[in-house]
Amino acid sequence: MTAGDLDIGFPSETINEGRVRVLVPKLDAYIRQTSDYAPSKAPVFYNPVMELNRDLSVLTLQAYQRTVSRELHVCEPLSSSGIRGVRYAAEVNGIKNVLINDINTRAVKLARYNVELNGLKDRVTIENKDANCLLSCHGAPKKRFDVVDLDPFGSPVPYLDSAIRALRNDGFLAVTATDLAPLCGVHSKACIRKYGGKPLRTEYCHELAIRLLLGCVASLAAKHEVGIRVVFSHSTDHYVRAYAQICHGAKKANENIKNLGYVVHCFSCLHRETTVSLADRKIEKCPECGAKMEYSGPLWLGSILDEQFCELVSRENTHRALRNSTRIMRLVTLLGNEAEAPTTYYVIDKISSKMSLRVPSVSAMIKALHSAGFKTVPTHFNSLGLKTKAPALKVQETLKDLATSFV
């Protein structure tokens, strides 16, 4: 089949990404005014900005395959043009089969063409079903997948339950959330309704977004006596992304429930801490300044990164010539350093603005806090952010000393 033979009925173009060549909607044709978001206006969703997301997905899936050392059956139930599933089949060693699915018939036609274009008919199966129906059909023990990748436009919550049930023991769940307005506290009621946790509009809201998403995943998994082990997660551009291995068993599920709790925050002095229950402490009074505090949660308080898995992803990146390889290396290096860092982070310019002081460099802050005895690392969440166990007032005191020493 050639592009000329494919009558998809809308403007399209062929692009190269990773090791594959795929036909996608020509996004320029769907912009009528400056406010238009072309990917959602096109008849088949395609977002070129998510190439980094797809690159990292390929690397993490390969890292996972090497840890389990078996052939993988992969499901992408919301595949759109099929670009991610096609890349999995073409670029990840140890793939037995990739099932890509979309409820949109035009997307299925486009995906089928892309599979044939890359000569992958023997390893890719295409379905045209409702995502939850497809996943539910694979909930029985011998029908389950090794990997389920949820990358919807918006919230993944409607698909999480069926995705968890469709995964085998020790399976791999990859999940994206692009609805950052609810997760970051702009629409608190929507976040509580969808994710079951209260957000908070703080400078570290993107980390809270990942933890709210993972808290939702852990809670849903526990209902099926399934636990999760988070190995990789990141906040990039307009979305958050998390990867977790699932473990069947009530004991594992119970362990996960212990990782659910709250982040308590003082908007006056920026003190923050975690607690597994709001009942075991009073949040009316900040221990550092005495002001009333707010909270976010319930959310995931466990690790959101595994240092060894980050090293595997980094190693995979060095073996490939991806367009985003340099950016990925910087990102994964930061993630690896953050693996053992405390929950939440401080943003230097936010503190400087609050104190009406000049902004010192992150490196200077890290060096000064290290000298004061507090291990401190930069964070991928914000280029002006740092993670440290230093109390909020100590961070402010350090910033003030640095800012005034140059006056």
Q: What one-character-per-residue DSSP string does 274-337 give?
A: EES-GGGS--SS-TTT----EEEEEEE-S-S--HHHHHHHHHHHHTS--TTHHHHHHHHHHHHH
Backbone angles phi and psi of 136, in degrees to 5: -65, -30
Residue boundaries of the structural domains of the chain: 47-300, 345-407
pTM: 0.95
- In the predicted structure, residue 70 carries a pLDDT above the cut 50: yes
Residue 4 — very low, low, confident or very high, per pLDDT cuts 50/70/90?
Answer: very low
Q: According to the model, what pLDDT value does residue 39 have?
A: 78
DSSP letters, 95-109, are EEEEEEE-S-HHHHH
Please say if the pLDDT value at position 178 is more than 50. Answer: yes
pLDDT one-digit tens code per residue, 293-351 = 999 999 999 999 999 999 999 999 999 999 999 999 999 999 999 999 999 999 999 99
- For 49, the token pair is 């900005």
Residue appearing with tokens 């982040």: 263
Whole-angstrom Cα distance, residue 271 to residue 392?
5
In this predicted structure, the answer to whether residue 406 has a pLDDT above a threshold of 70 is no
Query: Does 345-407 match 47-300 at the fold level?
Result: no
Task: Return d(Cα 221, Cα 215) in angstroms, integer.
Answer: 10
CATH 3.30.56.70 for domain 345-407: yes
Instruction: Evaluate whether the domain defined by 47-300 bears CATH number 3.40.50.150.
Output: yes
Average pLDDT, integer, range 195-218? 98
Which tokens belong to 372? 């004061």
pLDDT > 60? residue 407: no
Question: Could you tell me if 23 and 12 are in contact, meaning their C-beta atoms sit under 8 angstroms apart?
Answer: yes
Q: What is the pLDDT of residue 9?
A: 77
| 5 pLDDT more than 60 | no
